[in-house]
Structure 1
């Protein structure tokens, strides 16, 4: 058995019935993929990602973190669901179904993942009639965006002809210790982890001194700190119903915008597009704060040696999004400076030390605290730690195929919690980039409008960049009209 890391375990104790903690997304596959063919395809490959056949074993009294253990009763049929969109089988119907699927938490008595196979996609622009979609949910305690690449490798091939995979080898059942043994080991682990706290505090103190030194020597501002974000509608108590939508942009043209600001990166441009959408959305509601919104941007700490490891290996930067700036080019310039400062300080601080605090938190106590935080609505009683999360996961820039069917587009989702009710996963793939958004229906009932504003922000930023570069504007908008249908429901 393998114990969860402190960071992985945090996604378990944060989870409640109304706060599911899964990542996943919506993948659209071109052509009519037969369900039985898909199930057989998955049956032949699921063993290549061991975590997909492992379930949680909890410690008595939650004295220790759970372990992953091979599920000898694993049944693929319990993890694959089949459905079809109602007519006309368009984007509105797909996003509605995805929102419903994302609202339900995973069953902890089984391996923590599910696929929903969706037929009847007949009316989405640029997608062949009769295509299918795959709605995926995988618990965040098992995968992060980077380790999810192993799952992608299992599902997809680089040619229409599926590659051969090694046959499954029978796995032995893990030996699960008895309750007394687990209690004893858990108590020992708890005590030994606590001894690491002084060292972590020492490293944190050194990091604080180091960042102050960098600020004084180089004459630059300190990076954005937690609890300095202005309150918004996203930072209220999240209801149980999720709402999801996505916009698709042309990746090449998004990259070209970088030239408008010296040394700007693709990530800077993506943050600026998101910021413009947020600004428009809040202005329409007369809710735009004077202070800029703050995004938490996850940063992978995964080394080359750890690229195939499961679980989560991330820290974070806090980036001001310049939502108080009307000019899109000035907004890009400001965000570029903010990310440079954030990266400078992030490199100066030992990421392993920051992650180490998650290792010393007692699992049972953390779970009680998280549930109390939710029940007592404590998120209403302090400034937001940050306003939203924007996470950018680069993907392959070549076509991928599942069981011989081309992946048309890949779009993401990730968890929200009380006080942090908006997350925007960004996926790039084969010349396009998807900017998705997940929230709660009580916080953003008009998600469709927000996603439209993200597209309008991208078009505005590109037009401003072309003007700054003295180039002719493009004939077509940068945002692909794949996910827009004004005649259908939100």
Structure 2
């Protein structure tokens, strides 16, 4: 019996009929995977992931956060579903099904997850005919991006032969506790929680001084503050409907672009691609703000010892996306600088301090506040906290198998909220990167167009950095490559077909002969 952490509970606070707070994905497997084999594999590995058999139990009067308890009435068949795509079984049919299923809330009276096995993928680009898909939904209170990747690793194998598993333990859950028992257990947390505040305030003061030192002494610029982002068409209240899509890119191509700017990361390249697509999409609608858009980028705080454990271990940083810059290469350089600034300040305030503040929020009050925020459309009356979320989860770069059937691709899905009607989930696996936007169709009905712009922004960036590199090489041979006696670069033009000018070429030839 364990209470939710503050950050896990926050995803319950936020949940409203318009805002189900689950994450998920669409995984495509080769056609040899059957529903029966999938069900058997999941049955044999449930003991590796105990929380899949646990449900939430609310504390009377919301005196404490809910508790995870083994569900005495757990039945796997309530969480597994089986369906098929309508003809022709193409990408359009798959993403429509995924969008519709993702919009449906999970049942809080049961363990908060479900999986849908989908047959009939007969016309999916880059996928063999007859492939199958698994659409997963897991509540965000149960899982974050990194633990979701670990969860995938528990279900899959690195070869067609299943690995040896730890022996199963007898599953004999106790009856759910009485309301009186829950109240008594919660009373201790309710009374002791305020005593954590002085230590947190001391940690915050220390972090504030460190951030001030970085800004004033080392000259590190401040990242954007919350509620300073410009308003866009997707920063409005959302409906119950969802629309989802995905663009697939080569990881090797993304890494090649990364190496063209010192200090850049794969995530910087992804942010630049997203920024390029956002700039083009908004510019074509005469809706591009003068100020750069701001993305919230989740940062995992999960340690190695917390690997394979469910729950949320995450902080965040705010990054300017340089959407006002037309040149893709300059935009890339600016984003690299912005992410480095954001990381410096994010490290100054220990992420775990931010997480610990969430432990002090009264559960009942937070839930009421979230519902009022949604019902009264308060998001329309203030500047966005930030414009969108871009979350990047690195996955394994080797082929994985489920019941002996190969996983071709895994594409992420994540929730949107009032005022934040667009989220982009990035997942890398076996040489592919999926960039998957989720939006409200009332705010972005043409998400297909935006997804196409993601592909084109990637191509544009790759072409631009290649042209820049070629231009630098060409420029470098427009003057003599010799060094003068004074130790400076010779400024004479080189002779045709050579790297040296008429003065230094004879000496260079003599040196080659020697």
TM-score (norm 2): 0.90
- 1:368 is aligned to 368
- 2:432 is aligned to 432
- Counterpart mapping for 1:54-453 below 5 A: 54-174=54-174, 176-453=176-453
Higher relative contact order (CA 8 A, sep 6+): 1
Deviates most, 166-175 or 308-317 = 166-175
Quote the offset at 1:74 in angstroms.
1.2
What RMSD over aligned residues (CA atoms) do the two structures have, in Å?
A: 1.4
Deviates most, 314-323 or 37-46 = 37-46
Residues 1:466 and 2:469 aligned together: no
CA contact (8 A) 1:190 1:360 kept: no
Deviates most, 96-105 or 199-208 = 199-208
Deviates most, 438-447 or 301-310 = 301-310
Deviates most, 179-188 or 384-393 = 179-188
Please give the alpha-carbon distance, in whole angstroms, between the structure 1 residues aligned to 2:199 and 2:381. 32
Deviations 1:12-38, CA, capped at 9 Å, x for gaps: 111111111001110000124221222
- Report the 3-state secondary structure (helix = DSSP H, G, I; strand = E; otherwise coil) of the residue aligned with 1:219: coil
Deviations 1:211-241, CA, capped at 9 Å, x for gaps: 1121111122112111111011111001100
Deviates most, 45-54 or 239-248 = 45-54
Please give the alpha-carbon distance, in whole angstroms, between the structure 2 residues aligned to 1:463 and 1:259. 14
Please give the alpha-carbon distance, in whole angstroms, between the structure 2 residues aligned to 1:429 and 1:92. 23
CA contact (8 A) 1:6 1:359 kept: yes
CA contact (8 A) 2:149 2:393 kept: no
Deviations 1:336-383, CA, capped at 9 Å, x for gaps: 000111111111112111111100001011101110111111111111
CA contact (8 A) 1:46 1:154 kept: no
Quote the offset at 1:166 in angstroms.
3.3
Please give the alpha-carbon distance, in whole angstroms, between the structure 2 residues aligned to 1:198 and 1:164. 48
Please give the alpha-carbon distance, in whole angstroms, between the structure 2 residues aligned to 1:304 and 1:41. 26
Please give the alpha-carbon distance, in whole angstroms, between the structure 1 residues aligned to 2:154 and 2:305. 20
Aligned length: 472
Please give the alpha-carbon distance, in whole angstroms, between the structure 2 residues aligned to 1:162 and 1:139. 28
Residues 1:21 and 2:21 aligned together: yes
Please give the alpha-carbon distance, in whole angstroms, between the structure 2 residues aligned to 1:179 and 1:271. 48
Deviates most, 33-42 or 456-465 = 33-42
Please give the alpha-carbon distance, in whole angstroms, between the structure 1 residues aligned to 2:134 and 2:392. 21
Please give the alpha-carbon distance, in whole angstroms, between the structure 1 residues aligned to 2:446 and 2:181. 52
- Report the 3-state secondary structure (helix = DSSP H, G, I; strand = E; otherwise coil) of the residue aligned with 1:24: strand
- 5+ long unaligned stretches in structure 2: 472-514
Quote the offset at 1:167 in angstroms.
4.2
- Report the 3-state secondary structure (helix = DSSP H, G, I; strand = E; otherwise coil) of the residue aligned with 1:196: helix
TM-score (norm 1): 0.94
Please give the alpha-carbon distance, in whole angstroms, between the structure 1 residues aligned to 2:375 and 2:246. 31
